[in-house]
Amino acid sequence: MERTFEGRIAVITGAASGIGHTVAGHLAERGARIVGVDLNPDVGEMLAELPGGRHHGIVADLTDAAAAGRVIEETVREVGTPYVLVNSAGVALLDPAVDVPAERWQLTLDVNLSGTFYMAQAAGKVMIEAGQGRIINLASQAAVIGLDQHAAYSASKAAVVGLTHTLSLEWARHGVTVNAVSPTVVETPLGKAAWAGERGEKAKAAIPVGRFAQPEEVAALIAFIAGDDAAMISGSNYLMDGGFTTV
């Protein structure tokens, strides 16, 4: 396997599970040194199992506006200047729009949008100084279409796409690209549980390719965007939904 990220540092939020953990493994296999950020206190031990070793775990609550700065400071101090940031941490709290409790609305925005911005802002400062960097924000197909019971989630992810456009505009001239990835349902353990049974089968049938996305497919796309061959790509939102949004 070509070690296309040899010597590069990748900060990944939500690295203890789901898409974030898969992305961490995918980049580690290709030579990256991973800094994984998660609420899970075992994130460091989980990263130790990835290829390459010398990875670094940081336990942080990214809804705290000051946490991102501390994460990047620790990254620079203990590991080095990050080349890649993948904002994968997120929540999906689903309610009919008329029933969304204020606290669930606010938590969704705090994690999915504000946490993404704080991390991008903190990483962007050191990347701009270094003159290079790749930021990839996890959005969702729910950012561009309406989905039942997704009012808070859709609002947060649509805002992530808008944020991606603005950061790209401001930072591309400094060698820092910013892009978003918007999958359909991804078959992580949580995704499989949430979309099991008849509900899941109906959802798959509505997707032209007839299935959900695999976490490894999302990781491969992120690795491409973070790689040297994608240096000209910035400000894009990559839909990975099997053609669903074209129906």
Q: Please identify which of the residues 83, 118, 153, 238 carries the catalytic annotation.
A: 153
SS (H, E, C) 188-224: CHHHHHHCCHHHHHHHHHCCCCCCCECHHHHHHHHHH
- 44/60 Cα distance (integer angstroms): 12
Cβ atoms of 200 and 227 within 8 Å: the answer is no
Torsion of CA 13, 14, 15, 21, to 10 degrees: -130
Query: Is residue 224 within 8 Å of 23, Cβ to Cβ?
Result: no
Give Cα 82 distance to the centre of its chain.
15
Which amino acid is located at 232 in the chain?
Answer: M
Q: Which two tokens stand for residue 139?
A: 């959005």
Would you call 83 a catalytic residue per the annotation?
Answer: no
**What end-to-end distance do the CA atoms of the chain give, in Å?**
37
- CA–CA dist 5, 78 (Å, integer): 19
Q: What are phi and psi of 147, to 5 degrees?
A: -130, 140
Instruction: Kindly list the catalytic residues.
Output: 153
